[in-house]
Structure 1
Amino acid sequence: MKSTALTRKEFIRNSTLALAGATFIPGMLLAEDYPTIHQDVQNSNQAQKSYTLKNVRLETGFEYDDEGSVTATKTDLFSIQIAHGKIKNIGANSNNVDAIDAKGLLMLPSFRDMHIHLDKTYYGDKWQAVKRGPGGVKGMIALEQKILPELLKNSTYKAEKLIELLQSKGTAFARSHVNIEPTSKLDSLHHLQLALDNKKKSFGAELVAFPQHGVFYTDAVPYLKEAAKTNIDFIGGVDPFSIDGAIEKTMDFTVQLALDHNKGIDIHLHESGESGLKTVEYLINKVNENPVLKGRTYLSHCFVLGRLEKNKQQEMAEKLAAAQIGIVSTVPFGGLIMPIPLLMENNVQVMTGNDSIVDHWNTFGTGSVLQKANLAAQVYGQSTEYGLSRMLKLATAGTTPLDDKGNMQWPKVGDDANIAFIDASCSAEAVSRISAVKSLIYQGNIVF
């Protein structure tokens, strides 16, 4: 594995680039030059058990016009004490000479990428564009079977570089799907677990055992059963009808495996026709039959929701909310418009992620979920102060500094110290301008 150690000169140079919010993606070109600053900072005197931040900008409420519409976001400067990975105190701003100066930067919850594939990527290696072949998803399965052995040779190193890209964009946590199939067996999982262990002080993750090549199409069953015995968090799946040819058989296996091992469920569902709708309805019924899965079950992509008539969309949104099944959406996806606002209005948990970043499926991932929130705001016409501030939920997996009525709800004393400092005056500006991330804290550790 290639060493990621930096000289002091390189550390200072690369840290400056990162804090300047460089817009290029250096890891694609010279992976060794990308700022691997995290271990350096952790070993410095900044990564101490207790410290205080001053001149921290927090949102305190909304300003309204005479008609009751939000016109601006009020903020003020505060002093924040962090101890043992938690926010210990939130107080009036001070001139404490020993405090770290946040210089008026906006403090937001660190971002969460809730759908990504950290285990298979070209990032950190030479540039390669997508090569499309015949056969749709099954054609891509055949391609993966050919290229995965080579990708696995340095997948731990590339996963670490990908994590560093996410961190530079303010993300401190990810839900990663990891290939579990006869070609990789459990190697992809083990390599990614090593990368995550190397980054455990600066990055958190939950893992989905993902049968990318089908559950039965390539007989991933024994490998999924083995993966389920490990400390993964979710049992995954992909298009049970078009890949495995049977909705019920595949979904029954997935649900039972999750129940047997106390895991959640996260299913890739690209099918947008009748089979897609039947899969959604079947999963809703299975979750209602097994309430322990409520709040722990997700449909990734779920493009069929974007193909339904408005009345049917409303019906499905209500059913998903009642079953507490979340949607992890892709923003955007070609000409398809997912009903994200409708889902949110019906209290369906909606999250997003970068999915692919420079791999054989897609090369457009930037690593920024703040950009995803920006794209959603554009797609759904959320250009007001209030609308933009609500779109921040897509970058944080739900948390916003102010609730929908403008009351302060984050941070609170006792919260985990997972924080991003943004060069913006408020959440609305951060979403609208995709404002630069200047610093990241994970579990109290100053990542950069």
Structure 2
Amino acid sequence: MATQSLSRKDFIKNASMMLSSGMLAVDNDNLWQDLDEAQASKLTLKNVRLETGFEYEEGEVVTTKTELFTIEITDGKISAVLPNQPTTKAIDAKGLLMLPAFRDMHIHLDKTYYGGSWKARSKKNRTVKDMIAFEQKVIPELLKTSTYRAEKLIELLQSRGSNFARSHVNIDSTSKLDSLYHLQQALQNKKDSFGAELVAFPQHGLFYTESAQWMKEAAKTNIDFIGGLDPTSIDGSIQKSLDFVVQLAIEHQKGIDIHLHEGGEAGLKAVEFLIDRVNEHPVLKGKTYLSHCFVLARLEKPKLEEMADKLAHAKIGVVSTIPFGNTIMPIPTLYQYGVEVMTGNDSIIDHWNTFGTGSVLYKANLMAQLYGYSSELELSRCLKLATRNVLPLDEHGNRQWPKANDKADVVLVEASCSAEAVARVSPIKSLIHQGKVVY
């Protein structure tokens, strides 16, 4: 009998077809060995752990109940959630917990040292203006490898369970639109395994370095949000800076996501100004965000509650990296008043920040520790910070995810339940993006 050799590509294609038809079971320690590039339109997973409810003692949630299921995925969506069929030919999830895939909602994929040699942040540059001057010097060098490093950073996020990011990208008079183009190339290279939305971010100020013209050019591209930066301390005028952002967003039908580091009166006035503008232009409601917004951490309780209520009614969200030290954001109050709260890693190992794990599950863990969320129910609720508000169980323990027609964006985690995953920052064993195994 003649022998025939198969390339790795052909092997993967054939294995993918066998999986789709139920002919192949995968029992290796590495669940997805040689299937990471599979293009199967259908996947079946057995022995998948899902949360099914809560157990109570004296009115308190003490345990999260789980059961094993078989999950069918077709054309990028969950097509069926079935009673477990342990003997069926399918990928064996081996009892791992399935959770919604994570979403990093504030990161700078376009500038990082990650993917290259180790380099800590310099002690010399401390203010935002110091960093602007520094960036004007280093950006030309960073651009030489920015596409490659963005891809490596995306791979780090995937290994930590994220299949989506909102990335701010420099639009400035030094890089012009090059940072955007380089990042778009990286995202194009990863389009089958990672999703993103982009914020045109005037890191060097709209008018401080005359970047407004480049923001206008960026707004004509397929970016999703118009960004801004500290309108008083950088651009010298709340009205001039924020009106430019608002009008550009309306003209090009974009959202808004503004970096606001300013505290005190300047920070508060910026928040109030943006609330007023969004209320004047309801088309921006639900599409406007304040990143960082540190001023909220320093408000007295009555004023904080007033601002949280106004933000909620204007449907302006807050994106926080969960800072600690002297800036503890009032996230419990924001939740109480119905403000959308999201998180992200921000800068990962770059000239702004020496740290960064790539894990938004860690951010959920950090939130739990900062605000004393240590009970089973509280910890399970903290997961929403990592998943952008998608939770397996509702407050009463009714299963609300996954269900048929949900997007097949999931992670398999070595944990018994959501509460444990948050408390222990449990290891991510696999990531599925739009029905495809990508990690």
Q: Indicate conservation of the 8 Å contact 2:73/2:408, yes or no.
A: yes
Alignment of 1:219-368 (within 5 A): 219-368=210-359
Q: Which amino acid aligns with 1:306?
A: A
Whole-Å Cα distance in 1 between the matches of residues 426 and 247 of structure 2? 44
Whole-Å Cα distance in 2 between the matches of residues 342 and 65 of structure 1? 28
Query: What corresponds to 2:167 in structure 1?
Result: 176
Q: Indicate conservation of the 8 Å contact 2:411/2:430, yes or no.
A: yes
Residue 73 of structure 2, aligned match among 82, 95, 115: 82
Give the SS at the match of 1:107: strand
Q: Indicate conservation of the 8 Å contact 2:97/2:416, yes or no.
A: yes
Query: What corresponds to 1:43 in structure 2?
Result: 37
Tell me the CA shift for residue 364 of structure 1. 1.1
Q: Indicate conservation of the 8 Å contact 1:332/1:376, yes or no.
A: no
Q: Which amino acid aligns with 2:392?
A: P
Query: What corresponds to 2:416 in structure 1?
Result: 425
Tell me the CA shift for residue 189 of structure 1. 0.4
Q: Which amino acid aligns with 1:43?
A: E
Q: Indicate conservation of the 8 Å contact 2:37/2:437, yes or no.
A: no
Tell me the CA shift for residue 176 of structure 1. 0.2
Give the alignment's Cα RMSD to 1 decimal: 1.6
Whole-Å Cα distance in 2 between the matches of residues 225 and 133 of structure 1? 33
Query: What corresponds to 1:52 in structure 2?
Result: 44
Tell me the CA shift for residue 398 of structure 1. 0.8
Tell me the CA shift for residue 256 of structure 1. 0.3
2:434 is the counterpart of 1:446: no
Pair 134,75 (structure 1): closer, same or farther in 2 beyond 3 Å: closer
Q: Which amino acid aligns with 2:212?
A: V
Whole-Å Cα distance in 2 between the matches of residues 128 and 412 of structure 1? 45
How many residues end up aligned between the 2 structures?
A: 412
Tell me the CA shift for residue 215 of structure 1. 0.5
Q: Indicate conservation of the 8 Å contact 1:174/1:206, yes or no.
A: yes
Rg: which structure is higher?
2
Tell me the CA shift for residue 404 of structure 1. 1.6
Q: Which amino acid aligns with 1:49?
A: S
Q: Indicate conservation of the 8 Å contact 1:237/1:268, yes or no.
A: yes
Give the SS at the match of 1:332: coil
Tell me the CA shift for residue 134 of structure 1. 5.2
Deviations 1:204-223 (A, max 9, x none): 00000000000010111111
Query: What corresponds to 1:26 in structure 2?
Result: none
Tell me the CA shift for residue 41 of structure 1. 4.3
Whole-Å Cα distance in 1 between the matches of residues 64 and 125 of structure 2? 51
Whole-Å Cα distance in 2 between the matches of residues 306 and 280 of structure 1? 13
Name stretches of at least 5 consecutive residues in structure 1 with no aligned partner.
Answer: 1-6, 9-18, 21-36
Q: Indicate conservation of the 8 Å contact 2:106/2:168, yes or no.
A: yes
Whole-Å Cα distance in 2 between the matches of residues 290 and 96 of structure 1? 57
Query: What corresponds to 2:138 in structure 1?
Result: 147
Q: Which amino acid aligns with 2:182?
A: H
Deviations 1:7-66 (A, max 9, x none): 99xxxxxxxxxx99xxxxxxxxxxxxxxxx99x74534xx30012111111111111112
Q: Indicate conservation of the 8 Å contact 1:133/1:140, yes or no.
A: no
Pair 65,129 (structure 1): closer, same or farther in 2 beyond 3 Å: same
Q: Which amino acid aligns with 2:147?
A: T
TM-score (norm 1): 0.90
Give the SS at the match of 2:339: coil
Q: Which amino acid aligns with 1:180?
A: I
Query: What corresponds to 2:198 in structure 1?
Result: 207
Whole-Å Cα distance in 2 between the matches of residues 341 and 43 of structure 1? 41
Q: Which amino acid aligns with 2:258?
A: I
Give the SS at the match of 1:153: coil
Alignment of 1:12-27 (within 5 A): none
Whole-Å Cα distance in 2 between the matches of residues 186 and 432 of structure 1? 41
Q: Which amino acid aligns with 2:234?
A: I
Give the SS at the match of 1:72: strand
Tell me the CA shift for residue 135 of structure 1. 6.4
Query: What corresponds to 2:26 in structure 1?
Result: none
Deviations 1:255-276 (A, max 9, x none): 0000000000000000011100
Query: What corresponds to 1:95 in structure 2?
Result: 86
Q: Which amino acid aligns with 2:369?
A: Q
Whole-Å Cα distance in 2 between the matches of residues 261 and 191 of structure 1? 22
Query: What corresponds to 1:393 in structure 2?
Result: 384
Whole-Å Cα distance in 2 between the matches of residues 261 and 190 of structure 1? 19
Q: Which amino acid aligns with 1:356?
A: S
Give the SS at the match of 1:200: coil
Runs of 4+ in 1 over 4 A off after TM superposition: none
Q: Indicate conservation of the 8 Å contact 1:123/1:359, yes or no.
A: yes
Whole-Å Cα distance in 2 between the matches of residues 333 and 214 of structure 1? 26
Give the SS at the match of 1:88: strand
Query: What corresponds to 2:15 in structure 1?
Result: none
Whole-Å Cα distance in 1 between the matches of residues 171 and 54 of structure 2? 47
